[in-house]
Amino acid sequence: MHNKRMNDSMRQLYSAEEIPVLEAREKRRRAVCLAAAGVTLAVCVACCLLANTANMSLMEGTAIGASILGGWFVLYTRKFRLLDTRHELAHLRRMLDGDKAELTGEVQLTGERLRIKNSILVYPVRLADAVRPRLLYVSAVRGEEFRKALGGGKKRLAMQLVSNFITAWSEAEAAECAAAGAGTKAETAAGASSRNTEAESTGAARPAGAGREDV
Amino acid sequence: MKFLKNVVSQLHVYVLWALISVIFWAWIFTMVNDAPQEKKLVIFIYGPVQEKDLSVELEKEMPEGIRMIRAHSFDYVVFGNGELETADLYLVPENEADGQSKMFCPLTPEVAASLLGASAAEEGALWKKDGVIYGVRAKAAGGSGPFPEQIGYDPAQTYYLFFSSLSVHAGDLTQAPDSTAFELARRFLPAR
């Protein structure tokens, strides 16, 4: 109940509705790659079959030119269109299917976006006040609003994570209000045991929210 | 801008692909531009020759069973004499014939007569060595020769046509399966 209310107030970065869109895009781009490769090969083979003594140089030049240009097109399309879509789709599925954790803390963008090998473009996000240094990531494509919300500085946010990727977020004050409205309170993970000890000693034990951390 | 960045990031791949394309298709066309010896006729000509133009001209009348006719200058032989020795015909000026005579196939008087007709009896119509006929006259000194636009003749020289002793198209001369070399030879000889 608490988690649902938290999630409702959060901006979700990933949606299952995107899967068919990405799948269609991947199919389309794969078809373009295959068609380009097929046409290139057909042109080269046609040049071989139509070559005779009179036009041999022309046919050879045409075949080489078609092979180079067609190959460049296929290589570029595959690398920067098709693979991008595949990585995006795989990443989306991982985020939707992965184990979710929730975290509230002060975050800051650390620098320029980077590409995770064989995956997507991301912005690295540092937990500014973490007890232990921790780096999170937000998708560069989906996280524009997130990036603008942070601006150049730090901000306290409530976030949902899957494998250190931010999948949902909201302003921390709004999240804590939602949590208060649901009748549960956040717990500090790092000091959980000491607080519990202290709380027990003062007779005010707090129930732990499942999977929640407050840094 | 993004497009240029992407291209530069993969430039080594594109350069490698271009290299592979050039090498691969050049190799393919080397094979396309050739045929087995049984399917092609080859003539070597001593002196400057527009090889491609002459080959195109000769292919306009392709003998049956032949897929390709190639005309080469003797300068074409760079890496060895293999193709020179297995050619079908040679067109050589008189002053160079002796030096190339090892490759020539001897001709019988009947064969010479069938090629030149009545002019076989004229002086200088036949090239002989040690009394054996090897060549028939294609161009007289001071006269015009066959395919003058494609072949740079020495006007002062007499040119003879010779058959290769290793030709696979010289019929009974070399126990070859066909005699299409004779059809090609007649195109270099005066009309009978």
State the Cα–Cα distance between residues B120 and B109, nearest whole angstrom: 9
Q: Report the C-alpha gap between A212 and B191 in whole angstroms.
A: 105
Residues A98-126: tens digit of each pLDDT: 999 998 988 988 878 888 888 899 999 99
Residue B88's pLDDT is what?
Answer: 95
Segment A49-96, tens digit of pLDDT = 999 999 999 999 999 999 999 999 999 999 999 999 999 999 999 999
Contact A66, A46 (CB under 8 A): no
Residues in Cβ contact with B53 at an 8 Å cutoff, skipping those fewer than 6 apart? B149, B150
Who contacts B48 (Cβ-Cβ below 8 Å, separation ≥6)?
B73, B151, B152
Q: How far apart are CA B93 and CA B162, in angstroms?
A: 11
Chain A interface, best mutation among B25, B34, B60, B61, by max A CB count within 10 A: B25
Does residue B22 belong to the interface with chain A, where contact is any CB pair within 8 Å?
yes
Give the pLDDT confidence score for residue A3 in this predicted structure: 52
Whether residue A56 and residue B29 make contact (CB cut-off 8 A), yes or no, is yes
Q: Please report the sign of the dihedral spanned by the C-alpha atoms of residue B154, residue B160, residue B163, residue B166.
A: negative
Q: CA B145 to CA A193: how far, in whole Å?
A: 110
The tokens describing B3, both together, are 């497009």
Q: What is the pLDDT of residue A130?
A: 67
Strand duo A121-127 + A114-115: pairing: antiparallel
**Contact assignment for B17 to A68 by CB distance below 8 Å:** yes
Q: pLDDT confidence of A212, banded at 50, 70, 90?
A: very low
Nearest-CA residue of chain A relative to B26? A60
pLDDT at B78: 60
What pLDDT score does A70 carry? 97
Looking at residue A202, its pLDDT comes to 37
Distance between CA atoms of B184 and A204, rounded to whole angstroms? 113
| A142 residue type, one letter | R
Flag residues of chain B having pLDDT under 70: 77-81, 192
Residue corresponding to tokens 């000491």: A194
pLDDT tens digits for range A140-184: 988 888 888 888 788 889 999 999 999 999 987 655 555 555 443
Its ipTM equals 0.79
The residue whose two tokens read 């054996």 is B132
- For chain A, what percent of residues have pLDDT higher than 90? 51
Domain boundaries, chain A: 2-11+100-214, 14-97
With CB atoms and an 8 Å threshold, state whether A53 touches B13. Answer: no
Whether the Cβ atoms of residue A146 and residue A169 lie closer than 8 Å to each other: yes
